[in-house]
């Protein structure tokens, strides 16, 4: 109904006023964009009053305000009297985000950081297991900034602050705690689970992935409102310029987007039909990107489309041709244009449509080997055991050799076999006589750490749940003996492992 009313209002005003009039309406927020010239403010007020009487809805002037641009103080004062509401300046809040003509200031970002800190203060983090803290850090602390990140490029200091909050929460259970050990580097924690991480979001890459949406929307639907506005504001005024040729100057938002252009260009390829929607120099139309994009000022006809370029290839390409240009020339000469519009396709999804997740996956996994870590997370054991196994695989559980690296004092001894050595994960889980007895009783032969972890990661290994539980059981026993002087016999531990593995299998 509101939308219909808004349309009616818009129609009415458009007929009454000589200048264009715009309404932006979402949820319970309504923005009017109008000139302050002539009868415009009076007409707006009149229409609003009529709308109020007809619909029965009251306009709350105390909650309304107007933002003057380039108006004299006297006119602002007159408008305040006429409209009955106060004037304000940018930034204002709209849909939870600052509506602003300049880069958000430190105070704005600090509000975001404070929001995360406040959320933490309500949680009894010390009482949560590490696995619980990873889930909360991932599901809540990592998602709060997402709305912001979909519009603004977060400054590096903000990302560092948010990461510090998430990091301390996971490893130490509090914000700004006195002590606590970070067992895994933050880069690794932020890897997806199938790459050996805890699956937390890498904020920098996620921010970038989300902002690419703005590029995609202009490219995918250039006649949309967003596409039209960006062309008017940032494009070339002489012709409707495609976004890849945006001029250098502009707002902070445009500058941030412009820096993402290389990522966008490798993410999109063009399926050519009539050649009218493809830029010869900029679009990835022949499974390659011309090196010239935007920066080479010697290129002629920068904004030429593929259709326009084909008949004049000889003039366009310089002589002698370099490798890329000769390749382009040969592809272009064989190219047959056809009916229909050119289509831009997102390279990271089979359906050719943009998604932030697809580009994020591509960026985060670039250059990383896919190990079978993802299978660890599929094991039917509690989340605490998943976390333990990932840390064990990375060599980051706090055995004595790790304490040594961190200059934490300890008395060198294996509490399982009483040998006076500096305990390591290889000793504790494989070479220790106690561990060897455990593996012998469980009928696991030739147990090395690699073979044990390989078994745990092998989906077809029926005994992998028992092996995972045994590793976890050995670790718990070692901690019981170290910190609480609690000793269980080999028989008791074997019985515990078998029972727990069966319970995990049933209930996890
Ligand atoms: Zn030992």
Interval between CA 380 and ligand 1 midpoint (Å): 28
pLDDT of residue 302: 72
- What is the greatest pairwise CA distance in the chain? 93
Interval between CA 19 and ligand 1 midpoint (Å): 84
pLDDT of residue 476: 94
Interval between CA 337 and ligand 1 midpoint (Å): 74
Interval between CA 371 and ligand 1 midpoint (Å): 29
Interval between CA 435 and ligand 1 midpoint (Å): 8
Interval between CA 413 and ligand 1 midpoint (Å): 8
Number of H helices, E strands in the chain: 24, 8
Interval between CA 431 and ligand 1 midpoint (Å): 7
pLDDT of residue 320: 62
Q: What are phi and psi of 92, to 5 degrees?
A: -120, 160
Can you give the pLDDT of all 508 residues of the chain as single tens digits?
Answer: 555 555 655 565 555 556 667 787 777 778 888 888 878 888 888 888 888 888 888 888 888 888 998 888 888 898 888 888 888 888 888 887 888 888 888 988 999 899 888 887 777 777 788 888 888 888 888 888 888 899 999 998 999 999 998 888 888 876 555 566 778 888 888 988 888 888 899 998 899 999 999 988 888 887 787 877 777 776 654 444 455 556 666 778 888 887 787 778 778 888 889 888 888 877 777 665 554 554 555 567 777 888 888 888 777 776 666 555 666 677 777 778 889 888 888 988 999 999 999 989 888 876 555 556 778 888 889 988 998 998 888 888 889 998 888 888 888 899 999 988 899 999 999 889 999 999 999 888 777 888 888 888 877 778 889 999 999 999 999 999 998 889 999 999 999 999 999 999 888 8
Interval between CA 445 and ligand 1 midpoint (Å): 18
Number of residues that this document lists for the chain: 508
pLDDT of residue 212: 92
Handedness of CA 248, 249, 253, 255 (dihedral sign): positive
Interval between CA 401 and ligand 1 midpoint (Å): 13
Residue 500 tokens read as: 């727990």
The H-assigned helical ranges of 106-155 are 106-121, 130-136, 146-149
Q: Which of 28, 29, 33 is nearest to 9 (CA)?
A: 33
Q: What is the dihedral of CA 295, 298, 300, 303, to 10 degrees?
A: 10
pLDDT of residue 285: 77
User: Three-state SS for 68?
Assistant: coil
Handedness of CA 94, 100, 104, 105 (dihedral sign): negative
Distance CA 409, CA 462 (A): 41
Interval between CA 180 and ligand 1 midpoint (Å): 26
| Eight-state DSSP code of residue 172 | H
Do 145 and 200 meet the contact criterion of CB atoms below 8 Å apart?
A: no
Question: Rg of the chain over CA atoms, in angstroms?
Answer: 31
Across 376-497, the runs of DSSP E, i.e. the strands, are: none
Q: Which helix (H) or strand (E) holds 23?
A: strand 22-26
Q: Which of 365, 384, 371, 368 is nearest to 458 (CA)?
A: 371
| End-to-end Cα separation, the chain, in angstroms | 49
pLDDT of residue 27: 74
Interval between CA 185 and ligand 1 midpoint (Å): 28
Interval between CA 494 and ligand 1 midpoint (Å): 17
């Amino acid at each position: 109904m509101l939308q219909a009313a808004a349309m009616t209002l818009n129609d009415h005003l458009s007929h009454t006023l000589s200048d264009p009039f715009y309404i932006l309406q979402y949820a319970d927020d309504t923005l009017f964009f109008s000139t302050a010239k002539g009868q415009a403010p009076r007409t707006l007020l009149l229409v609003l009053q009529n709308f109020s009487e007809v619909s029965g809805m009251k306009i709350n002037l105390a909650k309304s305000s107007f933002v003057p641009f380039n108006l004299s103080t006297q006119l602002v004062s007159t408008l305040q009297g006429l409209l009955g509401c106060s004037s304000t300046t940018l930034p204002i809040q709209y849909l939870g985000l600052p509506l602003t003509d300049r880069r958000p200031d430190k105070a704005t970002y600090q509000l975001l950081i404070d929001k995360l800190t406040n959320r933490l203060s309500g949680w009894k983090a010390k009482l949560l297991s590490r696995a619980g803290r990873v889930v909360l850090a991932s599901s809540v602390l990592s998602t709060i900034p997402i709305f912001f990140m979909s519009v603004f490029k977060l400054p590096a200091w903000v990302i560092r602050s948010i990461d510090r909050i998430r990091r301390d929460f996971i490893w130490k259970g509090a914000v700004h705690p006195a002590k606590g050990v970070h067992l895994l580097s933050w880069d690794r924690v932020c890897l997806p689970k199938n790459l050996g991480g805890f699956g937390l979001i890498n904020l920098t890459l996620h921010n970038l992935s989300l902002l690419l949406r703005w590029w995609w929307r202009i490219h995918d639907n250039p006649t949309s409102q967003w596409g039209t506005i960006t062309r008017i504001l940032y494009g070339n005024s002489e012709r409707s310029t495609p976004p890849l040729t945006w001029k250098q100057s502009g707002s902070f938002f445009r500058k941030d987007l412009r820096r993402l252009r290389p990522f966008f260009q490798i993410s999109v390829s063009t399926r050519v039909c009539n050649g009218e929607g493809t830029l010869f120099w900029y679009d990835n139309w022949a499974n390659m990107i011309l090196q010239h994009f935007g920066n080479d000022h010697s290129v002629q006809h920068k904004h030429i489309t593929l259709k326009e370029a084909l008949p004049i290839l000889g003039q366009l390409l310089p002589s002698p041709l370099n490798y890329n240009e000769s390749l382009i020339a040969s592809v272009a000469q064989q190219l047959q244009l056809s009916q229909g519009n050119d289509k831009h396709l997102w390279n990271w999804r089979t359906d050719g449509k943009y998604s932030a997740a697809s580009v994020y996956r591509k960026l985060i996994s670039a250059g990383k080997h896919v190990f079978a870590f993802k299978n660890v997370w599929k094991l039917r054991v509690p989340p605490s055991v998943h976390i333990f196994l990932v840390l064990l695989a990375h060599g980051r559980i706090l055995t004595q050799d790790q304490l040594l690296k961190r200059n934490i004092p300890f008395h060198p001894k294996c509490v399982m076999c009483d040998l006076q050595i500096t305990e390591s994960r290889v000793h504790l889980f494989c070479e220790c006589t106690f561990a060897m007895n455990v593996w012998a009783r469980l009928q696991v032969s030739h147990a090395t750490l690699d073979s044990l972890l390989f078994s745990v990661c092998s989906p077809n290994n029926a005994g992998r749940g028992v092996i995972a539980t045994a590793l976890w059981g050995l670790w718990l026993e070692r901690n019981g003996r170290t910190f609480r002087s609690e000793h269980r016999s080999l028989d008791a531990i074997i019985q515990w492992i078998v029972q727990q593995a069966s319970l995990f299998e049933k209930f996890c």
